Amino acid sequence: MAPSTTKLFLLFLLSLLSPLSFSYSDHFESWCKQYGKSYATEEEKLARFRVFEQNAAYVEAHNSAADSSYTLALNAFADLTPDEFRSTRTGLTGLKTVGSLSNSNGRVFTGFGAGFRVPDSVDWRKQGAVTKVKDQGSCGACWSFSATGAMEGINQIVTGTLISLSEQELIDCDKSYNMGCNGGLMDYAYKWVIKNKGIDSEDDYPYKAADGNCLSNKVNRRVVTIDGYTDILPNREDLLLQAVATQPVSVGICGSDYAFQLYSSGIFNGPCSTSLDHAVLIVGYGSQNGQDYWIIKNSWGTSWGMNGYMYMARNGNSSKGVCGINMMASYPTKTSPNPPPSPGPGPTKCSVLTYCPAGSTCCCTWRVLGLCLSWSCCGLESAVCCKDTRYCCPQDYPVCDTTRKQCLKGNGNTTSVNGIDRENSFVKAGWWNDILAM
């Protein structure tokens, strides 16, 4: 049966199985085009359509309710079940008790005192303290986005400069307690940045949505520092409000419930549990038609919510807050200036006589008795040198297929990128002086 005939036949079966299927099939096709969705087989597409159909019915039922304060939509996650969504789009783990991480760099916030006046509304986006909405992809590293967002905010407030910081550095290098794409906690991220004496920029250490090796030459490029971090007493919305009035704050929430996945606009008030599994950033608060809300910055891209943001109800009946937002909040502290710009990376030394340009990897092209006598250069950091001595591969595509000049994601994994041609290495000027000095 031809592919087009198969597709029509499957859609015909759908129309027989469900009275809703026919009306949703065209919607599904346009949705696939809007979000660039494609599926390997017609069977997979049929299964995704079934999920989409259920989600569409749920969205329609919710939005038809007259008493709801928010709307849902068929966003980029409309072909995922709640369980599928939870497994890839959250990532808050290692929940703590307040004070369990406290040391010389951490403390517990108990309020600013009776004289502190909380403004009626705050929006740190308008103060230039919030970077653009980011997308964690299918990597459970929400904790890193929440942590960098809070550090970006306090850095701008103290220095006047907004710098987008590297989530990937935290994923790759913060391994003592956090687990990269398998989850983590913001306080551990703050502790790591303090111990490392700073964190690199996103521009220099960009996001890959995957676990990787810590790049030692970049981990020492520190553009922003923090002095400590503070935990807010749990279930104290009054203290959380005071903190947000002074800077963006990291919080844990339950972000995996059905309505949260498909949220589109308005003031979200549940239903959702208080089992914390996701991390976001509170960047302000306000009121609308007598209903108070938090301004939440998420890390699911701009197709979710209001261009990546949510209004979440506050001042409700539960001390834990909607989705547990009052249960686990913290923020970094900073008063000291940032370090001076790091000097640009120097050449990569291959041997006493040869080197490669900065940001390159030295690859041996001729080895005798374990001693490399000739070198070439791969124009990537921490690259894999292929045995054919002609090509090299990125570290996240480490398997060389030299017959096809391809780099594979792994053995048995056909995901690939093109191999990279090596270049000649350079001979160090004044090399004879180095030889004489040996």
**Structural domain containing residue 302:** 87-333
Q: Which two tokens stand for residue 292?
A: 């108070």
| Separate counts of helices (H) and strands (E) for the chain | 11, 22
Residues 135 and 215 placed together within one structural domain of the fold = yes
Residues 186 and 315 placed together within one structural domain of the fold = yes
- What is the per-residue burial (b if ≥16 Cβ within 10 Å, else e) of 165-177? bbbbbbbbbbeeb
pLDDT class for 137, splitting at 50, 70, 90?
very high
CATH no. for residue 129? 3.90.70.10
- Average pLDDT for residues 112-135, to the nearest whole number? 95
Domain C-terminal end among 333, 364, 382: 333
Q: What is the pLDDT of residue 353?
A: 87
Q: Is residue 352 part of a domain?
A: yes
Residues 313 and 362 placed together within one structural domain of the fold = no
| Between residues 127 and 316, the one the model is more confident about | 127
Residues 38 and 117 placed together within one structural domain of the fold = no
**Mean pLDDT of all residues in the chain?**
89
Active-site residue identified among 75, 105, 269, 298:
298
Question: Number of folded domains in the chain?
Answer: 3
Q: What is the pLDDT of residue 95?
A: 58
Return the minimum-mean-pLDDT range out of 23-27, 255-259, 332-336, 347-351: 23-27
- Give tens-digit pLDDT for 289-311: 999 999 999 999 999 999 999 99
DSSP-assigned states of every residue in 274-310: S---EEEEEEEEEEETTEEEEEEE-SB-TTSTBTTEE
Residues 391 and 416 placed together within one structural domain of the fold = yes
pLDDT class for 176, splitting at 50, 70, 90?
confident
State how beta strands 228-232 and 106-109 pair: parallel
With beta carbons less than 8 A apart as the criterion, state whether 142 and 120 touch. no
Task: Indicate whether 15 pLDDT > 60.
Answer: no
For residue 75, which amino acid is it? N
With beta carbons less than 8 A apart as the criterion, state whether 336 and 225 touch. yes
Task: Indicate whether 103 pLDDT > 80.
Answer: no
Give the separation between CA 103 and CA 350, rounded to whole angstroms.
42
Domain C-terminal end among 67, 95, 117: 67
With beta carbons less than 8 A apart as the criterion, state whether 254 and 273 touch. yes
- Average pLDDT for residues 152-180, to the nearest whole number? 96
Q: Which two tokens stand for residue 278?
A: 């996701």
- Average pLDDT for residues 336-340, to the nearest whole number? 91
- Give tens-digit pLDDT for 3-13: 444 554 454 44
Confirm whether 142 is a catalytic residue: yes
Residue 110 CB: number of other CB atoms within 10 A? 12
Q: What is the pLDDT of residue 340?
A: 87
Residues 269 and 387 placed together within one structural domain of the fold = no
Looking up tokens 């490399």 gives: 372
Distances (CA, A) of 244 to 118, 198, 232, 311, 346: 9, 23, 11, 14, 42
Q: How far separated are the first and last CA of the chain, in Å rounded?
A: 75
Q: Is residue 76 part of a domain?
A: no
Q: What is the pLDDT of residue 430?
A: 54
Cα torsion through 232, 238, 240, 244, rounded to 10? -140
Of 354, 404, 345, whose CA–CA distance to 374 is shortest? 354
Task: List the beta bridge partners of residue 251.
Answer: 280, 329
Phi, psi of 184 (to 5 degrees): 180, -170
Q: State the Cα angle at 12 between 11 and 18, rounded to 5°.
A: 85
What is the widest separation between alpha-carbon atoms in the chain? 87
Task: Indicate whether 1 pLDDT > 50.
Answer: no
Active-site residue identified among 55, 254, 269, 278:
278
Q: Which two tokens stand for residue 191?
A: 């502790």
Residues 26 and 116 placed together within one structural domain of the fold = no
Q: Is residue 80 part of a domain?
A: no
Of 253, 263, 267, whose CA–CA distance to 314 is shortest? 267
Q: What is the pLDDT of residue 168?
A: 98
Residues 386 and 276 placed together within one structural domain of the fold = no
Task: List the beta bridge partners of residue 296.
Answer: 282, 310
Task: List the beta bridge partners of residue 135.
Answer: 300
| Between residues 135 and 103, the one the model is more confident about | 135
- Give tens-digit pLDDT for 50-66: 999 999 999 999 999 88
Residues 13 and 157 placed together within one structural domain of the fold = no
Domain C-terminal end among 333, 363, 378: 333
Q: What is the pLDDT of residue 356?
A: 92
In the Cβ-directed half-sphere of 391, how many Cα atoms lie within 13 Å? 19
- Average pLDDT for residues 17-30, to the nearest whole number? 71
| Between residues 304 and 340, the one the model is more confident about | 304
Residues 153 and 301 placed together within one structural domain of the fold = yes
Give the separation between CA 52 and CA 50, rounded to whole angstroms.
5
- Average pLDDT for residues 386-390, to the nearest whole number? 91
Q: What is the pLDDT of residue 96?
A: 57
Residues 163 and 275 placed together within one structural domain of the fold = yes
With beta carbons less than 8 A apart as the criterion, state whether 38 and 32 touch. yes
Q: Is residue 74 part of a domain?
A: no
Distances (CA, A) of 85 to 89, 416, 418: 6, 26, 31
Q: Is residue 225 part of a domain?
A: yes
Task: Indicate whether 435 pLDDT > 60.
Answer: no
Q: What is the pLDDT of residue 114?
A: 81
pTM: 0.79
Active-site residue identified among 55, 75, 139, 142:
142
Q: What is the pLDDT of residue 38?
A: 92
pLDDT class for 422, splitting at 50, 70, 90?
very high
The DSSP element (H or E) to which 83 belongs, if any, is helix 82-89
The DSSP element (H or E) to which 372 belongs, if any, is strand 371-378
Residues 258 and 373 placed together within one structural domain of the fold = no
Q: Is residue 157 part of a domain?
A: yes
- Give tens-digit pLDDT for 216-243: 888 889 999 999 999 999 999 999 999 9
Q: Is residue 278 part of a domain?
A: yes
Share of the chain above pLDDT 70, in %: 89
Give the separation between CA 62 and CA 71, rounded to whole angstroms.
7
Q: Is residue 75 part of a domain?
A: no
